[in-house]
Homo-oligomer: A and B are copies of this chain.
């Protein structure tokens, strides 16, 4: 029975898992990335994880899938630019790990690995066309169109967080203005909440929760306050849902996906957020996709990265 190793290369930790062809985790491990030590040292740690995972495994390993921050070149297996990992530009990650492990290696965008995991075994199981948005500090995610990852001919694509929803909007980290991420990334959400909290006369448990300190305000705290019925927090979630709905409406008009899946910390806000998103999409996107698309939470929390990365060697390719 084939096995593969999935590596989730993050800015803080490297996670690795030995994964079965059914997507089960046989064993897993995690060590600090220590990015500042540079790519050669990080490759050493990846190799150590690979060797640990296969040491108690007599059978064949089909390959090592590495999910990495992008944008990257999945064919050649290197990263173009890495804002959070200086010194990695054009570093031949795939070749280095392959040399040192004598295993086939594939490098893929971490967000794409998450999409693959959801499509293979999660909330998007069986969907031919689906979109994942991972709502965290930024908005990542990716697209599977007609059974294939949307990577584009030049391998920077599927940047679902960087569609514009208001060209007069706030500056985005990517240099553009009014991207979905600028509104619905953590900073955008916090900033809308703070505006409300600051208003004289506003009553909200959020003030106490953060002791009037803006820097303590996070999407998680807002979600918790909403769960307690706090009006300000609920209103922030509804507005965030509407703004996400605007971006998702554009995506539905382009792809008519069967499913839109929301993962990441912000998606944990739950039904208030999802209801506002669905309401906007049902009303403003083109039928029939607007009515048929299911907008649902992601199935995986933390393991999508290693499972999807291993999936690069385990998922039966659709030859249709």
Contacts and interface: CB of A to CB of B under 8 A. Distances in A.
9 contacts: A151-B256, A152-B256, A152-B289, A155-B256, A155-B288, A162-B286, A164-B164, A166-B168, A176-B249
A157 interface: yes
A162 B253 contact: yes
A164 B165 contact: yes
B164 A250 contact: yes
A65 B128 CA distance: 26
Main secondary structure on A side of the interface with B: loop
A283 B172 CA distance: 13
Given A129-B152, A286-B71, A292-B154, A253 B159 contact: yes
* Copies held by the complex: 2
Interface string A212-247: 000000000000000000000000000000010011
Q: Which of A71, A146, A153 has the most CB of B within 10 A?
A: A153
Interface in A141-178: 143, 145-146, 148, 150-160, 162-168, 174-178
A91 interface: no
Given A153-B256, A163-B254, A164-B249, 14 more contacts: A80-B288, A128-B153, A154-B256, A154-B293, A155-B256, A157-B256, A157-B289, A158-B254, A162-B253, A165-B167, A167-B246, A175-B283, A250-B250, A251-B254
B159 A254 contact: yes
A320 B146 CA distance: 14
A202 to B, nearest CB: 24
A88 interface: no
A284 interface: yes
Nearest to A253: B159
A258 interface: yes
A250 B157 CA distance: 10
Nearest to A258: B153
A255 interface: yes
Interface string A278-291: 00000111111100
Contacts of A159: 253-254, 286
B163 A253 contact: yes
B167 A166 contact: yes
Interface string A21-54: 0000000000000000000000000000000000
A257 interface: yes
A159 B153 CA distance: 21
A150 B292 contact: no
Residue from A71, A157, A168, A177 having most chain B Cβ neighbours under 10 A? A157
Contacts of A158: 254
Contacts of A167: 165-166, 243, 246
Contacts of A289: 152, 154, 156-157
A157 B167 CA distance: 23
| A-B pairs, 5 with minimum CB distance | A152-B256, A157-B256, A163-B250, A159-B253, A176-B284
